[in-house]
Chain A
């Protein structure tokens, strides 16, 4: 190659920055493209306990990351789903699993058979048909099997990890492969007078960093995309009113869950993310409905171990950048959009954005068609997640006595996007979910959340009537039984994790971390 290599500059060393850096440095040979990441130790990164989706396996596979090594380095645990507590009503609990509620019968989801049984007075808990949920409830874990006939093939898994350690792990990975990392803070951005593209960044040290493509992973501030290029923000607060989070780690106590817990609260919801060495906690709340002091009280009151620090406050606004890619600057992570971590989508969204970048990689002369396509794809992803999140809030039945702040009444009564209204209508009628091509989430996820939020269809798919009710009930009982028997044979999450991640040297380090 005769041309000089393309220069990519990534600003920001949080999860998004390092994921993008790792992806690009894996994909490029240095003579083709150089990647440089600028981060400042002065600027804190947002990561606390971080929960992921199964799509992270694609990322790890692409980087050829060794799973136990990665899990040890980030104090990771396994995740099979999210336990939503108190959402539709106080006292409710449902798990949105990474998996289906039983295998389809004659090509029709088991859910539809369950509906028929229910509508004929045979009440059972839909969750009892999900292997992943049952494993969660019993605090068990093992890897899925490949045999499609086994209930143990009906799920996927993800991780919880310490996001600070994760960024550090990826940093080590990327710098070991030649990625250039610069410590420094950007004090000025120089734009090219002729077209307003970014020409260079000036660091506090005085160094001027030039580049062909700048990736803004600087978080909410959007140092490049927003501050320098003035790209606007589309505000979604009307649907997702939470705008603050308090985060605090606590000692590991209580159940060692292979799932995240998301508990609805008076002005938002709290997360509980189990890590190997501690538990990450946080309270996502709306400043319209709670003071910070009150939020801290709620958060600390709900911990199952001693707090390890003062709660740290984060401010945000739900929404997305009007265009994530503009001129020669492309925002990934929070600079591109923010959706609260209710469904653990932030790492996925950063990952998919860097995949889109790879697929539409521009070269030095950026074709606006590629920019438009990137933005189209990113917009689809954000909108799909947005609608799914809104559903969790909107579909609640909390009476006044369960809703002291009035948040839950507000979200129940607010107008929702038309795209969601249409989905809910079809579901309410007959449990039908149109499968779309791009973006999260697939029908089993929608089913789990609709039913968990007490949105039940009035009818069921007529194809289910091909089987008589007695046979259906028998088959359903058989699924429940197979789930129970198979889950009983699994090791506990804790046993499995200890065996899988065991490493004598790491053990010593862990003890140091805990006691030293």
Chain B
């Protein structure tokens, strides 16, 4: 067998969630495998009221990192989320919930949404999301932990809205208890091997030099190591996702607490409302060509109908990706690798996409990191599939006569997404590719919600006669009603005092 010159020292530099998630995930994966982990913590950019909305996969990653849910929820003033409500993307269609659950059940082996498409054309009033336990519970202000009561009918999950400062404190505390090496400092210089270009050490402002075999860049969109030091180019997706500003602020807590988050479109972008226990986090994403900074705050207040903290932070961004994520002995995690539009709460998950692949392809030899090729291939496909999903919210809008939204409908769609949309529109069939984050029902709920109703449904639907279909629909709606009825409000699940009705 070949002799390996093992990777023994990993240096992670960065801040906030990308830094601490990486530290904990790597520690859990390799802590007994003789891996020395050093964390260089740059000053946090987080402010009170900042939020990390997550996807449903978050819970599993907490398991992987050994983060206990209840204390984490308390420390980060977190709430649970059963889905996201999308409003105002069309002037004629009602809001819809993209729920973290499956929708309806197959009838005579034909997927539910085909039956719904047919029934809808014949006058059915029920919306697609009326067939999701999560969506119905969310609308009624209730929350539940999926279990026996729901398992036979649907596959239900939940996500979180995490108070960012509290959440990072939890991650940091856990990491430090685990005795990862920790230096709080600023980066002065990246030292590279003159011969082969790999990073040998990081020189810090405090005069310290930290050497390592393998460097992880968790510095956010600055991409200090991968982008700046290694010179890996950034490829803009601005032509696909035109919003370029993120405004963050917060308002008073909502009572009762909603069990979903809300994304409401307005003339120049959208406003996301993410309930936390102690406040309501606001993220507004817009196109700077369309809106000045002063107008932006005003718009956020109007769209959220809330008295907002009048000291918002506006962060410019360009959606896009680094050409590769792993170059020589440097891997970028989170926004150092990819800057996703914040829609669909995917920014947190982008960290896990990188980390999951990094664990399964962790480099074995400090001198020849052959894994980078496979890693770059898989991670890039994953990011692109997420981007494709996000693009649909913009592409499918029906806000006519507004420059940003009119432009969005004209965007040239990447080939794989175009194929997917055309097939779905033709017949309600969904082409899923390798490395998709969003599953079939996620796509269907989103596409139908935005009004992309297939022109034709599966003709096998016609084998179920209408009376039978109606009976089945009623039975599903009845089951959901009966299941949601006894569910408790969010406050009960969080151990908070119930809000008097």
Chain A residues near B (Cβ < 8 Å): 1, 6, 27-29, 32, 118-119, 358-363, 367, 369-370, 372-373, 376, 422, 425-426, 429-430, 432, 434, 436-438, 458-467
> B427 and A462: CB pair below 8 A?
no
Residues of B with C-beta under 8 A to A32: 459-460, 462-463
> A434 and B362: CB pair below 8 A?
no
Interface 1/0s, chain B 435-471, versus A by CB < 8 A? 1100000000000000000001011101100000000
Bound-complex Cα distance A367 to B4 (A): 56
Residues of A with C-beta under 8 A to B34: 465
Bound-complex Cα distance A358 to B114 (A): 13
> B434 and A458: CB pair below 8 A?
no
> B364 and A462: CB pair below 8 A?
yes
Tell me the B249-297 residues at the A interface (CB within 8 Å).
none
> Which of B1, B31, B370, B458 is in CB contact (< 8 Å) with A425?
B370
> Which of A361, A376, A429 is in CB contact (< 8 Å) with B459?
A361
> A370 and B426: CB pair below 8 A?
yes
Q: What are 13 A-B interface contacts by the 8 Å CB criterion?
A: A6-B459, A32-B459, A119-B1, A369-B426, A369-B427, A376-B431, A430-B361, A437-B436, A462-B30, A462-B33, A463-B359, A466-B29, A466-B30
Closest to A364 in B: B459
> A463 and B30: CB pair below 8 A?
yes
Bound-complex Cα distance A369 to B431 (A): 11
The answer, yes or no, to whether B315 is at the interface (CB within 8 Å) is no
Bound-complex Cα distance A251 to B49 (A): 79
Bound-complex Cα distance A461 to B427 (A): 44
Residues of B with C-beta under 8 A to A436: 434
> B463 and A363: CB pair below 8 A?
no
Bound-complex Cα distance A118 to B32 (A): 20
Closest to A107 in B: B64
> B362 and A462: CB pair below 8 A?
yes
Chain A nearest CB: distance from B478 CB in Å? 27
Residues of B with C-beta under 8 A to A376: 431
The answer, yes or no, to whether B482 is at the interface (CB within 8 Å) is no
Closest to B108 in A: A27
Closest to A120 in B: B1
The answer, yes or no, to whether B423 is at the interface (CB within 8 Å) is yes
Residues of B with C-beta under 8 A to A118: 1
Bound-complex Cα distance A367 to B456 (A): 10
Residues of B with C-beta under 8 A to A6: 459
Chain B nearest CB: distance from A348 CB in Å? 20
Closest to B435 in A: A437
Closest to A62 in B: B109
Residues of A with C-beta under 8 A to B236: none
Residues of A with C-beta under 8 A to B432: 437
The answer, yes or no, to whether B213 is at the interface (CB within 8 Å) is no
The answer, yes or no, to whether B374 is at the interface (CB within 8 Å) is yes
Closest to B433 in A: A437
Tell me the B83-122 residues at the A interface (CB within 8 Å).
109
Closest to B432 in A: A437
Chain A nearest CB: distance from B162 CB in Å? 25
> Which of A362, A373, A425 is in CB contact (< 8 Å) with B423?
A373
Chain B residues near A (Cβ < 8 Å): 1-2, 4, 7, 29-35, 109, 359-362, 364-365, 370-371, 373-374, 378, 419, 422-423, 426-427, 429, 431-436, 456, 458-460, 462-463
Bound-complex Cα distance A461 to B33 (A): 10
Chain A nearest CB: distance from B277 CB in Å? 33
Bound-complex Cα distance A463 to B373 (A): 20
Chain A nearest CB: distance from B348 CB in Å? 22
> A458 and B422: CB pair below 8 A?
no
Closest to B6 in A: A462
Residues of B with C-beta under 8 A to A467: 32
Give 7 nearest A-B pairs by CB, closest first: A465-B33, A466-B32, A369-B426, A363-B459, A458-B2, A459-B364, A119-B1
> B364 and A369: CB pair below 8 A?
no
> B109 and A466: CB pair below 8 A?
no
> Which of A28, A425, A464 is in CB contact (< 8 Å) with B463?
A28
Bound-complex Cα distance A397 to B422 (A): 48
**Most chain B beta-carbon contacts within 10 A, residue among A1, A363, A438:** A363
> B29 and A367: CB pair below 8 A?
no
Bound-complex Cα distance A186 to B30 (A): 66
Known: A432-B360, A465-B33. A370 touches B463 (CB 8 A): no
Bound-complex Cα distance A165 to B6 (A): 58
Q: A370-B423, A462-B30, A462-B35 are in contact. List 17 more A-B contacts (CB 8 A).
A: A29-B463, A32-B463, A119-B1, A369-B422, A370-B426, A422-B373, A422-B374, A426-B374, A429-B370, A429-B371, A437-B433, A458-B2, A460-B364, A461-B362, A463-B33, A465-B30, A466-B33
Bound-complex Cα distance A376 to B429 (A): 13
> B429 and A359: CB pair below 8 A?
yes
Bound-complex Cα distance A367 to B360 (A): 41
Known: A361-B460, A367-B426, A458-B2. A373 touches B30 (CB 8 A): no
> A463 and B362: CB pair below 8 A?
yes
Bound-complex Cα distance A440 to B344 (A): 32
Residues of B with C-beta under 8 A to A464: 33
Bound-complex Cα distance A436 to B382 (A): 12
Chain A nearest CB: distance from B429 CB in Å? 6
Chain A nearest CB: distance from B28 CB in Å? 9
Closest to A435 in B: B434
Chain A nearest CB: distance from B365 CB in Å? 7
> B429 and A373: CB pair below 8 A?
yes
> B2 and A363: CB pair below 8 A?
no
Bound-complex Cα distance A64 to B422 (A): 35
Residues of B with C-beta under 8 A to A29: 463
Bound-complex Cα distance A372 to B31 (A): 49
Bound-complex Cα distance A460 to B363 (A): 10
Residues of A with C-beta under 8 A to B364: 429-430, 459-460, 462
Closest to A465 in B: B33
Residues of B with C-beta under 8 A to A425: 370, 373
Residues of B with C-beta under 8 A to A358: 460
Chain A nearest CB: distance from B205 CB in Å? 32
Bound-complex Cα distance A463 to B30 (A): 6
Chain B nearest CB: distance from A32 CB in Å? 5
> Which of A27, A28, A363, A432 is in CB contact (< 8 Å) with B361?
A432
Bound-complex Cα distance A245 to B2 (A): 42
Chain B nearest CB: distance from A341 CB in Å? 27
> B459 and A459: CB pair below 8 A?
no
Residues of B with C-beta under 8 A to A361: 458-460
Closest to B458 in A: A361
Closest to B109 in A: A27
Bound-complex Cα distance A307 to B434 (A): 47
Chain B nearest CB: distance from A464 CB in Å? 8
Bound-complex Cα distance A363 to B32 (A): 59
Chain A nearest CB: distance from B212 CB in Å? 16
Chain A nearest CB: distance from B415 CB in Å? 12
Residues of B with C-beta under 8 A to A363: 456, 459
> B33 and A373: CB pair below 8 A?
no
Closest to B364 in A: A459
Chain A nearest CB: distance from B346 CB in Å? 19
Residues of A with C-beta under 8 A to B360: 432, 461
> Which of B359, B362, B419, B429 is in CB contact (< 8 Å) with A370?
B429
Residues of A with C-beta under 8 A to B456: 363, 367
Bound-complex Cα distance A434 to B434 (A): 10
Chain B nearest CB: distance from A96 CB in Å? 23
